[in-house]
A and B are shown apart, each in its own frame.
Chain A
Amino acid sequence: METASSRQIVIMGLCYVFSATLVTWPGQILRLARQDAWIGVPTCALIMLGVLWVVNRTLHAHPGKDLLTLFVEKYGWLGKCLVGAYVLLLTLDMGKDLRFGTDFVNVVFLPRTPSILIATLIAATCVFMVRGGIEIVGRMAELYIPLFIVVALCAGLLLIPDLSWQYMQPFFEKGMIRPMVGVWYALTPIGNIMILPLMFSNQHFTFRQSCMAILISCGLLEFVLIICQLNLSSTLAGHLMYPAYEAVREIRLTDFLDRFDLPIVGLWLPTIVIKIGINLYVICTALQRIWPSLEARTVVPAVGAWIVVFGFWLFHTSVEVVSVNDAWPVLVIFWWIMIPVFACVGLLILARVQQSRLRRPS
Chain B
Amino acid sequence: MILLLIQAVGLVGGLLFVQWREWKKSNRVTRIIYAVCLLSAATMWVLSNTLMFTHTSFAWLPKFSFAG
Contact = CB atoms under 8 A, between A and B. Distances in A.
Chain B interface residue count: which class?
20 to 34
Interface in A247-277: none
A298 B44 contact: no
Interface string B26-68: 1101100110011011101101100000010111011110101
A295 B26 contact: yes
A223 interface: no
Contacts of B40: 306
A32 B30 contact: no
Task: Specify the main secondary structure of chain A where it touches its partner.
Answer: helix
Contacts of B11: 305, 309
A302 B64 contact: no
A287 interface: yes
Contact of B62 (A174, A313, A320, A327): A327
Nearest to B57: A320
Contacts of A327: 61-62
Interface in A2-49: 32, 34
Interface in A126-170: none
Contacts of A178: 68
Contacts of A326: 61-64
B58 A324 contact: yes
A357 interface: no
A241 interface: no
Contact of A309 (B29, B48, B66): B48
B68 A34 contact: yes
Nearest to B27: A293
A293 B11 CA distance: 26
A184 B22 CA distance: 45
Contacts of A84: none
B58 A299 contact: no
Contacts of A350: none
B10 to A, nearest CB: 11
B41 to A, nearest CB: 4
Nearest to B48: A313
A312 interface: yes
Given A32-B64, A177-B66, A293-B29, A302 B58 contact: no
Given A34-B68, A302-B38, A291 B33 contact: yes
Given A313-B48, A316-B55, A287 B63 contact: no
Contacts of B22: 298
A301 B61 contact: no
Contacts of A310: 41, 44
A326 B61 CA distance: 8
A305 B42 CA distance: 9
B57 A295 contact: no
Closest 10 CB pairs of A and B: A313-B48, A302-B37, A323-B58, A306-B41, A309-B41, A295-B30, A306-B37, A327-B61, A302-B34, A309-B44
Interface of B: 11, 15, 18-19, 22-23, 26-27, 29-30, 33-34, 37-38, 40-42, 44-45, 47-48, 55, 57-59, 61-64, 66, 68
Given A177-B66, A298-B34, 13 more contacts: A291-B33, A293-B27, A293-B30, A295-B26, A301-B15, A305-B41, A306-B38, A309-B42, A313-B44, A313-B45, A313-B47, A320-B58, A326-B64
15 contacts: A32-B64, A178-B68, A181-B64, A181-B68, A291-B33, A302-B38, A305-B38, A306-B37, A309-B11, A309-B45, A313-B48, A323-B57, A323-B63, A324-B61, A326-B62
